[in-house]
Structure 1
Amino acid sequence: MSNQEILDQEQQHYAKAARIKYFDIVIKSGKGAILTDKDDHQYIDLLSSASATNTGHCHPHVVEAIKQQAEQLIQYTPAYFANEPEAKLTPRLAKLAPINGPVKVAYGNSGSDANDAIIKFARAYTGRQYIVSFTGAYHGSTYGSISTSGVSLNMTRKIGPLLPGVVKVPFPSPWYRLPNESDDDFSDRMFDAFKLPFETYLPADETALIEIEAIQGDGAFIKAPERYLNKVYQFAKEHGILFAVDEVNQGLGRSGKMWSIQHFPDVHPDLIAVGKSIASGLLLSAVLRRAEVMDALSAPRNLYTTAGNPVTTASANATLDVIENEHLVERSAKLGKQAKAFFDKMKDRFDFIGDVRIYGLNGGIDIVDPATGKADDDAATQLITQIFELGALMITVRGNILRFQPPLVIKETDLNKAFSIIEQAMQELNDGKLPPAKPMGW
């Protein structure tokens, strides 16, 4: 069956709420950074399954670990009994955690439930109710994580009321910067906006948690200013508020460091959420916490039948092997510099490129109307459509921002070919050669 035949059959029964509309393809197979659809068209993957396949598609070491474990034991719930791959993975993750002091681990099935678990443990440990998160955040789509998210109105339409006790403050996104405002003045002004709820209606001594993406993913790939994040962290410490970092999108080498919070050497979180690439895309997440915070809850208040099962944890152990043995963190940093140089060069050539934000093999490129400097969703959609037609898979976030997240194992020849495709599409947009955009995306 062709792409379209499969899609026609599927769409009779597939829920509209479960897929964001982009391109009409059915992924058949993948190897490294190359995807093949059911019509046997190949694409350079610049999305990594939403940053869930940092080790690339079907890495031989990961595949072999999954196969060997599946022949021994696929599932027995860790809610009752340990299994060997999980018991091996747990201390490895605890050792890797960017957290001071003893660390404990709790497993889930997705980044969403990892972020839900953070809320549970924070409330239990502090005895406080309020949770603070940021505009532009994407923490997931379970009721807790969707309540702390703030990236799209379409995430929350028709499903309220959401989790009570959640307060959102503005993330220091670059479009909030005033003309000619210095970095320090911008950070200080945004920190004043962060404090405003605490000075008017939100008691700090009743606040359990502040959770942030140190580098926002779906919110536009924005790294918080270091001065700002240090101030928020110190505020949390001064008021006995737990500080959590969502590493689901940006962790495991994506940003050129093992964890995105390592770009901020003075910040030491109490909890972090991990998911997506932890098991090369299999259904596994984890929350890493200071041991005393983890011990605030006992079973069965955060357990799941399939979380930490033998196959997913075997995949996670193999994934960590690949990240370590193939030096993917260092590779992300190195190739990220090449990516930044390329997109900066495109910015110098094309006036429809606004800001370029690249951190490792990871980032966002703003597409704007040259006349106004404002977001141009149509032009961004024209670009990703032509990039797709030329043989690379890229999507947008927030309508006008190109999402750049290739697998960390991508061959340099494929990366350079992707750059050539993007450059050609941008030149054709500049020359007015691209057809009108069809609506798609968030």
Structure 2
Amino acid sequence: MVNTQKTKPKVTNKEVLTKEKTAFATAARIKYYDIVLDHGHGAIVTDIEGNDYIDLLASASSTNTGHAHPRIVEAIQQQAAKMIQYTPAYFANSQAARLAPRLAELAPMNGPVEVVWGNSGSDANDAIIKFARAYTGRQYIVSFTGAYHGSTYGSMTLSGVSLNMTRKMGPMLPGVIKVPFPSPWERFVGENEEDFVDRMFKQFMLPFETYLPADEVAAIIIEPIQGDGGIIKTPTSYMRKVYDFAKRNGILFAVDEVNQGMGRTGKWWSIQHFNLEPDLMSVGKSLASGLPLSAMVGRKEIMESLGAPANVYTTAGNPVTTAAANATLDVIQDEHLLERSRQLGEKAAEFFKQEKKKYSFIGDVRMYGLDGGIDIVDPVTGEDDSEATTKLMYRIFELGAIIISLRGSILRFQPPLVITEEELDRAFAMIDQAFAELAAGKLTAPTNAAELGW
């Protein structure tokens, strides 16, 4: 890390965190590093002590356009000077009215499309439940293990990535059925892709053959590329089987693009890697470059199945957040960030491919644009190695980059799409140094290692 302050900081990270701890609930933050962020620009963030870090997380993929992009800052400032809030539940505002047709046009769906606003990806996924049940007249929703769809009661019921998302909080939303996601860890040694997909699809079908009537299922919701589950792309042939099953049975096919949308994977939407059209799609995080705005986009006939006030929120789609979203769309298009994600993603994939050749503790490497998951394993057993992963991510942080883990043993690589090649190279040097030090047995886990991560 680089300290950019020339004098001793007036306040330290430790002092602020100690004071915050007296009033901030444990449940509201997944613990990683003891820093208090103060400002950022592009792919660099700075804490209150003046330490700079290369951001390899992009605020959980919610700042794809980077931090404090001047065009987005200007749009926010200009709109805030005119009007900050008037509830879209009662009246349109000029920014949201402009954004809705733009987002509908970008949706990976043919035919008329409509949009509803939310404040987070969580309530966008709640909207999928609402509209799917209303349109079909059916109650059941099918989701996947390993999924993260949010933290409202509906979206956390859909999720399947952490026991702490359900522990002590039941009963959860009724009518939600989970099926196994075809992740690489479910694959048998020596099993080919076709056999793996066939076996996993049989597991998908098991509920429908034993206790879940297909004609009572409203929707199947899936992350085409699971985010918090480990940055895992659904096998294409498996996705096609699920899609075809849904269509044969009048089940809506819904996709969650909150983490993986908005250019993250080198396309506007991760579902575009499959050449399939969803019926419903949730969007959030980077939609407004991190400001609290989400959307659920769907085919018009589905979206017209409910009337007001079935999905209204006081602040959702307010003038400032939608101004930021309009500017975000402009930046992604004008600065060619889809192409940039693809190009720099190829560079990142090659870097980790070469690292894998050098270090036997690197397992599977998955990279879809600037969107990657790097498995860390025990070289002897091939099993996931959470201890080594924690050592690595903490050392990378000490060297000056922010990276976190998923599932305990996966390094999450999601830098802002505006990261420069020079910044990317510096980050690679830090990662390689950490890898080399782990291989040499020089790394130790932080004293609070058991507290860190999901």
TM-score interval (norm. to shorter):
over 0.9
Q: How does 1:22-41 map to 2 (within 5 A)?
A: 22-41=32-51
Q: Which string of whole-angstrom CA distances, capped at 9 and with x for unpartnered residues, describes residues 137-160 of structure 1?
A: 000000000000001112111101
2-structure distance, mates of 1:293, 1:185? 36
Aligned to 1:106: 116
Aligned to 2:126: 116
Aligned to 1:420: 429
Moved more, 42-51 or 430-439: 430-439
2:205 aligned with 1:205, yes or no?
Answer: no
Equivalent in 390, 397, 416 of residue 407 of structure 1:
416
Aligned to 1:165: 175
Displacement over 6 Å in runs of 4+:
none
Aligned to 1:273: 282
2:268 aligned with 1:229, yes or no?
Answer: no
SS at match of 1:77: coil
Aligned to 1:86: 96
Q: Which string of whole-angstrom CA distances, capped at 9 and with x for unpartnered residues, describes residues 323-371 of structure 1?
A: 0000001100110000000011111111111100000001100011111
Q: Which string of whole-angstrom CA distances, capped at 9 and with x for unpartnered residues, describes residues 175-203 of structure 1?
A: 11112211111111111111110000000
1-structure distance, mates of 2:241, 2:142? 15
Moved more, 49-58 or 370-379: 370-379
SS at match of 1:205: helix
TM-score, normalising length: structure 2: 0.97
- Cα deviation, residue 2, structure 1: 1.3
2:351 aligned with 1:351, yes or no?
Answer: no
Amino acid corresponding to residue 256 of structure 2 in structure 1: D
Aligned to 1:341: 350
Aligned to 2:453: 441
Amino acid corresponding to residue 127 of structure 1 in structure 2: G
% identical equivalent positions? 67
SS at match of 1:71: helix
Aligned to 1:15: 25
2-structure distance, mates of 1:122, 1:154? 27
Q: How does 1:363-402 map to 2 (within 5 A)?
A: 363-402=372-411
SS at match of 2:14: helix
Q: How does 1:108-257 map to 2 (within 5 A)?
A: 108-257=118-267
2:306 aligned with 1:294, yes or no?
Answer: no
Q: Which string of whole-angstrom CA distances, capped at 9 and with x for unpartnered residues, describes residues 295-318 of structure 1?
A: 000101110000000000000000
Which residues of structure 1 form unaligned runs of 5+? none
Amino acid corresponding to residue 300 of structure 1 in structure 2: P
1-structure distance, mates of 2:263, 2:183? 23
1-structure distance, mates of 2:247, 2:445? 51
TM-score, normalising length: structure 1: 0.99
2-structure distance, mates of 1:164, 1:368? 37
SS at match of 2:423: helix
Aligned to 2:3: none
Aligned to 1:304: 313
1-structure distance, mates of 2:140, 2:86? 36
- Cα deviation, residue 24, structure 1: 0.3
2-structure distance, mates of 1:180, 1:368? 18
Amino acid corresponding to residue 262 of structure 1 in structure 2: Q
Equivalent in 326, 336, 342 of residue 327 of structure 1:
336
Amino acid corresponding to residue 132 of structure 1 in structure 2: V
1-structure distance, mates of 2:177, 2:110? 27
- Cα deviation, residue 436, structure 1: 2.5
SS at match of 1:388: helix
2-structure distance, mates of 1:208, 1:87? 30
Which residues of structure 2 form unaligned runs of 5+? 1-10
SS at match of 1:21: coil
Amino acid corresponding to residue 441 of structure 1 in structure 2: G
2-structure distance, mates of 1:146, 1:389? 33
CA RMSD of aligned residues (A): 0.6
Amino acid corresponding to residue 194 of structure 2 in structure 1: D
SS at match of 1:209: strand
1-structure distance, mates of 2:370, 2:69? 18
1-structure distance, mates of 2:356, 2:312? 48
Amino acid corresponding to residue 399 of structure 1 in structure 2: G
Aligned to 2:5: none
- Cα deviation, residue 99, structure 1: 1.1
2-structure distance, mates of 1:427, 1:100? 50
Amino acid corresponding to residue 250 of structure 1 in structure 2: Q
Amino acid corresponding to residue 268 of structure 1 in structure 2: E
